Amino acid sequence: MTKFMNEYILSSLYKEDQVLQDDNTKSKEKTADKYLVSAKSAYLLEGGTTKDAEKKSYLFGFASYTHDKFGAYKTYETVALGYGDWLYSTETFNWFAEAGPGYFRGEKITGLGTAADPYVAEKEQGALLRLASEIEWKFSQTAVFKQILSIESGSDNTRTLSETSVAASITNAMQMKIGFAVASDSKVSPGKEKTDTTTSATIVYKF
């Protein structure tokens, strides 16, 4: 039996809104253009295998990349290594937490640029501490509630990501998921919002 668990996430957000112009006319403009890619690999300790992984501690490696044309940071890259453990586990309820040091690199939006490059960005980088936790509650045979929280704290910025969701199985490999996500940065440039929220309805495919 393998002692590794791997998780890969790819998400994208694109949005257009009706915007009121100076001449009181309305036109469609892009107001959100964001994508995120992340990967995590966990090595199970204490002789655990993937069949009983929910009861085993683990070492992990994590990496993520976010590109956001309208956010406080144009790009945000994170890598981290650390230790995780399942704090509580039953057939219907699981809760784990993990922590470890890492490194981040980002481009903070500081102003408006040219038509070719519409934003002026300031580069930041440095060490960070990553903390994360996930709660999963299977409240029926086909439905699951999840609460995911991660905090990446560095000298230049602290990024907090939270997602609350409910997913219902359509098939063995496919789920319908309703989610509410919050992304927050502690230090942003004037005119930029510290917190972004997103409500979504998505199809999740597991393989």
69-93: pLDDT as tens digits: 888 899 999 999 999 998 888 889 9
- For the segment 166-202, what is each residue's pLDDT rounded down to a tens digit? 999 888 878 899 999 999 999 888 888 899 888 888 8
Q: Mapped to the 3 state alphabet, what secondary structure does 105-153 carry?
A: EEEEEEEECCCCCCEEEEEEEEEEEEEEEEEEECCCCCEEEEEEEEEEE
**Bridge partners, residue 28, by sequence:** 18
How far is the C-alpha of 192 from the C-alpha of 72, rounded, in Å? 6
User: 0.95 cut: is pTM over it?
Assistant: no
Token duo for residue 13: 């957000």
Half-sphere exposure of 151 (CA within 13 A, CB side): 8
Q: Where are the beta strands (DSSP E) in the chain?
A: 4-20, 26-44, 58-68, 73-89, 93-112, 119-137, 143-154, 158-169, 174-185, 195-205
- For residue 134, what are the contacts with CB-CB under 8 A and spacing of at least 6? 94, 95, 96, 146, 147, 148, 149
Token duo for residue 99: 């922590």
pLDDT at site 105: 95
Comparing C-alpha atoms, which of 127, 19, 113 is closest to residue 69? 113
Comparing C-alpha atoms, which of 129, 121, 135, 85 is closest to residue 103? 129
Q: Assess whether pLDDT exceeds 60 at residue 40.
A: yes
CB atoms within 10 A of CB 96: 20
Domain-by-domain residue ranges, the chain? 4-13+28-205
Token duo for residue 59: 């070492």
Q: What are phi and psi of 106, to 5 degrees?
A: -145, 165
Report the residue count for the chain. Answer: 207
Q: Assess whether pLDDT exceeds 60 at residue 47.
A: no
Given the candidates 3.30.360.10, 3.40.50.300, 1.10.3210.10, 2.40.160.20, the CATH classification of the domain at 4-13+28-205 is 2.40.160.20
